[in-house]
Structure 1
Amino acid sequence: MAVSLGACAAPETTVPNEGNETPVEESVFTPGTYEGSAKGFHGDVVLTVTVNENEITEIVADHTETEGLGDNAIDEMIASAMEKDSLALDMMSGATYSSEAFLAALEMALVKAGADVEKLKVKEAGEEAVKEDITKDTEVAIIGAGGAGLSAAVSAHQNGAKVIVIEKMPNVGGNTIISGSAYNAVDEKRQAPQGIEDSIEKFYTQTYEGGDKQGDPELVRVLVENAYPTIEWLESLGMEFKDTVFTVLGALWPRSHKPVEPLGTGYINTYMNYINEHSDEIEILTETEAKELVVSEDGRVTGFIAESKNGKVTVNASKGVIVATGGFGANVEMRDQYNTIWPALTNIKTTNHKGATGDGIVMAEKINASIVQMENIQLLPMGDPETGSLSGNIEQGVENRIFVNSDGNRFVDEGERRDVMTNALMEQEDSMMWVIVDQHSYPTGDTVNNFNESIDSLVEQGRAFKADTLEELAQQIGVSPENLVKSVEAFNAAVDGATDEFGRTLFMHKIDTAPFYAGKRVPTVHHTMGGIKITPETRVVDVNGVVIPGLFAAGEVTGGIHGANRLGGNALTDVNTFGRIAGAQAAKEN
């Protein structure tokens, strides 16, 4: 990738001079072309930076960051760096690794150019921007531009409404864009050719019972019955899913659909393509944070008040307001406030983007909305040891991998519920495990995982290990070779029909073909199942069970759908299905 833009001139500075000599401009850089590099999400981000004495005149980036996410972040940061001739740049939401890599690579290049990088990291004071309060009128107003908010925006517009969406982060996408992208739905067209028997009733039972029967049966029914129609709706908007399904971690059954585009970019790009085509009737305001819902004297929600960097923004909605702000997985204080199930979560990292702080729940509660099941916080056993992110996870599907502890022993049914697996992991030494797979998961070194990372790149980065024998792999990761071999042999026997010692039932291939791979994983906070109580039509109800007129909610901000445990692959089903319903319902309000 090469990007070359004209940069704004840097402010002139002078140095002391004697007599009547003309003041001379102090150089910021030594003119020339310099290179810097740093590790990004998918490998090295390499920048070739050309400068004159006071300006960055060109930045050429060479990288393999995620299409539609990391590459967009780098493009935006190139433009910003050249506009400001500075290292005081804002990180791009949802693309933290790519943003950090860009800044580190740019700093390396500018150090070589002789710059005082500490000065370049300081934001210029300049003149304070003039703030101006504004008011906007629309029909449907949406708080949050993640998957739920954007699906609601498209659906509302398709049902005849003008729409305004606000987003507190600099970019749209929320948790959806950085997700593993699995979407559960009963889909005979894809399942039958794979010999998979499924039904709406089976999906309902697994979802309801998988949440310890704490989910609202009506909401679960809406979820499972509308899952596939929502896939068809997404496809009608141009989104593409792969032709086969798989079993994502904790899904309990092979009905997880995988988009063609990596991570959650397919969902967000699909919605944004539609929104950009109808930008005269759908407006998105980023870096605009909702502060309070506006309620009329008769109890109807008529809009909200938000803050942007330019002042107060009041949005009036004649039909309805949809809260789609996501959960509170990134809010440590809020997690600790409501957690009654897990050990202390203070030091547990999260898969969530930093904007997942529960704002919508707090706003709704202030107007007497019912908030339910806040203690139901989901952890995964699949966090990156350094970041808590799901990136670097080498599993491709539940059927073809095992977990072993630091002794090389299996300790749980790897096809179980997410809470069962995480509790079992927390009982192991250092709450750490290794995921073990073989060539069946990675036929070639450039085969990518569910986060678009090739196995070769993960091995090169030291985030995965590769060996031609299980004994050699065991030595690399520091577990007992004897135990690892026995664990794999017992698993392989169960694939052949022997009774699995942990009761596992989901199998496909044996782990018997070199090369063998291992990846380290730890617990991480992933999803908050509690939140705003809604009806099957996504209307918000108050503490007395009465519908609050004009107020809707969708996505992870809601509670009572998944119960005590969310099945893997059900989040994106929830986000897109209930977002679609909320948009249509709000658009039909009088």
Structure 2
Amino acid sequence: MSEKQKMDHSRRQLLKGGAALTLAGIGGAATLPVMAGTQGKVQTKFDEIVDIIVIGSGFAGMSAALKARESGDSVMVIDKMPVFGGNSTINGGAMAVAGSPLQKKEGIEDSVDTMVADMLEAGRGMNDVEMLKLVCNGTAESCEWLTEHGVKWKPFVQHFGGHSLPRVLQTVESSGAGIIRPLIKAAKKAGIDMRNQTKLESFVKNDEGRVIGIKVRDGFYFPRNKTGKVRLFGASKGVIMATGGFGRDIEYRQMQQPKLTKELDSTNHAGATSEALKQMMLIGANPIHLDQIQLGPWASPDEKGFGTASQFNTIATYPSGIVVDSRTGERFFNELADRKARADAIMTRRDEQGNPVYPIGFTNAEGAKKAQTLAWGLKYKVIQQAETLDELAQLYGIPAKALKEQVSRWNKAVSAGKDREFGRPMQKAMKLDQGPWYGVRMWPKVHYCMGGVRVNTHSQVLHLITDKPIEGLFAAGEATGGIHGASRLGACAVAEGVVTGRNAGQMCTQSKRVELAQA
């Protein structure tokens, strides 16, 4: 064989689907046990076999697992962390729903088309429209499904930034735990096998290139990468990736967005890293929009992570208050714009040396009456109370005269029903005419990855070269990319996670079962 023939042969072997590389365990993993199959083929022997494996236990993962289990398939859920839920547990528990009963009760006319239009505008037109329609079409049904599983909602609709009208429902706990706990309870009751401290190492593919299982580290202790026993789990129908984003993977997120350095905090839990995404890419998954990483504009520099300010600003400051530059006492953006617009505006508040000058968001007692984290924020001095505007100005070093003039202009805008300064929607705007006042310093934090792997409306992961499905591999939630474009609207993470998770679970159950061998 000539050198050219050898090179061509090697190239063909490499492009055969990556099966040999996967079975060898890229990254120095142990060789997988195999047995001789028929016609000279090699068949992997698995330690355990189920119909469907779901990786990740957040909104998307638990929704996928439960939906798949409804069809009678055996389902295993794995999560690398010691507790289930991931970012979903510490999420604010808010879900955008087009056409909910609460909207109708309050006389709010909404539609799927209106929600699609709002998300397209926020996404700067970069959205995958077919996937976007799938999500918006599924919100009402999925919300009802969550309610049937025991999720309890507050009895009113909220108006989040970037939405053209109020459509947001929120759990009574003001936390994603109000969704995750009922779903985990339902999963255990349904006989779904829940495994924590179980980390994905790589995929296992058969000779036809289909994903038929995974290699894991069982008994894994995050972040010690070599802990746990290497085991093989087979999935006769498919593997569903619901592994979330990589907001806490500082090195990888900085590759995508150099400005997102370690100095910028994140609302994500420690396990929000990129290794699962990389494993999908290694077998040909098409990564899209990885540089579109969202900053949460409601966070405070006076606490770590999600904290108390995020919920307070979401439910009180933004809908019922205003945000001002501490140097001028004046507003400088539309408080109900989408997240990207608000975060970008806040990030411009810097001194001559480029250091942050933290804006001040505030409202009064009437505006803060539904904020469940107010007491905690006051206790830890993330939120501060003032009896007068003069006292508020003194607390934050704001020019008092300018602050009072700004409040006066705002009150006139509310009376007129029109914000001539920044075009803010005024449906639920309220006057700020009496104290006490509650203020908080604000600065964005890394919050959500709009990018991930490309999927179709059957939740199948698509190949980088062929744009055809990688057989046996599905994905849902933040692990996917394209739905939100350049910026995700608030409360659409729960919507996306639950809708696409249920979709992935249903589609995976319809896959043809392959025969697998057990060790």
CA distance in 1, matches of 2:260, 2:69: 43
1:120-166 deviations in Å (ceiling 9; x for gaps): xxxxxxxxxxxxx9811000001111221111111110122110111
* Correspondence 1:474 to 2:400: no
Write the letter of the residue equivalent to 1:521.
M
Q: In 2 relative to 1, CA 269–388 (structure 1 residues): closer, same or farther, beyond 3 Å?
A: closer
1:321-349 deviations in Å (ceiling 9; x for gaps): 00111001010111111127xx3433211
Q: 1:205 aligns with which of 94, 117, 123?
A: 117
Indicate the larger mover: 176-185 or 243-252: 243-252
CA distance in 1, matches of 2:134, 2:357: 37
Q: How many aligned positions are there?
A: 448
- Partner of 1:368, secondary structure, is coil
1:13-59 deviations in Å (ceiling 9; x for gaps): xxxxxxxxxxxxxxxxxxxxxxxxxxxxxxxxxxxxxxxxxxxxxxx
Contact 1:303–1:314 (8 Å) recurs in 2: yes
CA distance in 1, matches of 2:115, 2:431: 27
Which residue of 2 is the match for residue 559 of structure 1?
481
1:170-215 deviations in Å (ceiling 9; x for gaps): 0001111001111001125211332322211111111112101111
CA distance in 2, matches of 1:548, 1:519: 48
Which residue of 2 is the match for residue 266 of structure 1?
178
1:293-346 deviations in Å (ceiling 9; x for gaps): 111110111011011234112110001100111001010111111127xx3433
* Correspondence 1:217 to 2:126: no
Which residue of 1 is the match for residue 306 of structure 2?
389
Write the letter of the residue equivalent to 2:215.
I
Contact 2:295–2:444 (8 Å) recurs in 1: yes
CA distance in 2, matches of 1:213, 1:134: 45
Which residue of 2 is the match for residue 72 of structure 1?
none
Q: 1:303 aligns with which of 206, 213, 219?
A: 213
Contact 1:159–1:588 (8 Å) recurs in 2: no
Q: 1:405 aligns with which of 309, 325, 341?
A: 325
Contact 1:541–1:548 (8 Å) recurs in 2: yes
Write the letter of the residue equivalent to 2:309.
G
Indicate the larger mover: 198-207 or 483-492: 483-492
CA distance in 1, matches of 2:63, 2:48: 21
Contact 1:178–1:263 (8 Å) recurs in 2: yes
- Partner of 2:403, secondary structure, is helix
Write the letter of the residue equivalent to 1:286.
N
* Correspondence 1:380 to 2:272: no
Write the letter of the residue equivalent to 1:508.
A
* Correspondence 1:533 to 2:443: no
Indicate the larger mover: 161-170 or 267-276: 267-276
* Correspondence 1:177 to 2:89: yes
Contact 2:160–2:336 (8 Å) recurs in 1: no
Contact 1:490–1:500 (8 Å) recurs in 2: no
1:396-418 deviations in Å (ceiling 9; x for gaps): 15331211122222110111111
Which residue of 2 is the match for residue 335 of structure 1?
253
Which residue of 2 is the match for residue 505 of structure 1?
425
C-alpha displacement at 1:577, in angstroms?
0.7
C-alpha displacement at 1:389, in angstroms?
2.1
- Partner of 1:559, secondary structure, is coil
C-alpha displacement at 1:428, in angstroms?
0.8
Q: In 2 relative to 1, CA 188–137 (structure 1 residues): closer, same or farther, beyond 3 Å?
A: closer
* Correspondence 1:312 to 2:230: yes
Which residue of 2 is the match for residue 518 of structure 1?
439
* Correspondence 1:367 to 2:309: no
C-alpha displacement at 1:249, in angstroms?
4.0
Q: In 2 relative to 1, CA 275–188 (structure 1 residues): closer, same or farther, beyond 3 Å?
A: closer
1:443-462 deviations in Å (ceiling 9; x for gaps): 4xxx5x3xx42x23322321
Q: In 2 relative to 1, CA 172–344 (structure 1 residues): closer, same or farther, beyond 3 Å?
A: closer
- Partner of 1:164, secondary structure, is strand
* Correspondence 1:347 to 2:263: yes
Write the letter of the residue equivalent to 2:308.
S
- Partner of 1:246, secondary structure, is coil
Which residue of 1 is the match for residue 511 of structure 2?
589
1:72-94 deviations in Å (ceiling 9; x for gaps): xxxxxxxxxxxxxxxxxxxxxxx
CA distance in 2, matches of 1:302, 1:337: 31
Contact 1:148–1:324 (8 Å) recurs in 2: yes
Write the letter of the residue equivalent to 2:202.
E
CA distance in 1, matches of 2:507, 2:263: 40
Equivalent residues in 2 for 1:47-446 (5 A)? 135-279=47-191, 282-309=192-219, 310-339=228-257, 343-385=259-301, 386-393=303-310, 394-395=312-313, 396-397=315-316, 398-407=318-327, 408-429=329-350, 430-443=356-369
Q: In 2 relative to 1, CA 539–223 (structure 1 residues): closer, same or farther, beyond 3 Å?
A: same
CA distance in 2, matches of 1:136, 1:245: 46
Structure possessing the higher relative contact order (Cα contacts under 8 Å, 6 or more residues apart): 2
Q: Which runs of 5+ in 1 are unaligned?
A: 1-132
CA distance in 1, matches of 2:112, 2:357: 36
Which residue of 2 is the match for residue 21 of structure 1?
none
Q: In 2 relative to 1, CA 195–469 (structure 1 residues): closer, same or farther, beyond 3 Å?
A: farther
Write the letter of the residue equivalent to 2:47.
T
CA distance in 2, matches of 1:436, 1:472: 13
Write the letter of the residue equivalent to 1:401.
G
- Partner of 2:103, secondary structure, is helix
CA distance in 2, matches of 1:228, 1:192: 12
CA distance in 1, matches of 2:406, 2:274: 42
C-alpha displacement at 1:250, in angstroms?
4.2
Q: Please give the root-mean-square deviation of Cα atoms over the aligned residues, in Å.
A: 1.8
- Partner of 2:47, secondary structure, is strand
CA distance in 2, matches of 1:226, 1:421: 28
* Correspondence 1:494 to 2:418: no
- Partner of 1:482, secondary structure, is helix
CA distance in 1, matches of 2:163, 2:178: 21
Which residue of 2 is the match for residue 35 of structure 1?
none
CA distance in 2, matches of 1:499, 1:286: 50
CA distance in 2, matches of 1:264, 1:258: 9
1:367-399 deviations in Å (ceiling 9; x for gaps): 011111111111122223131424233231533
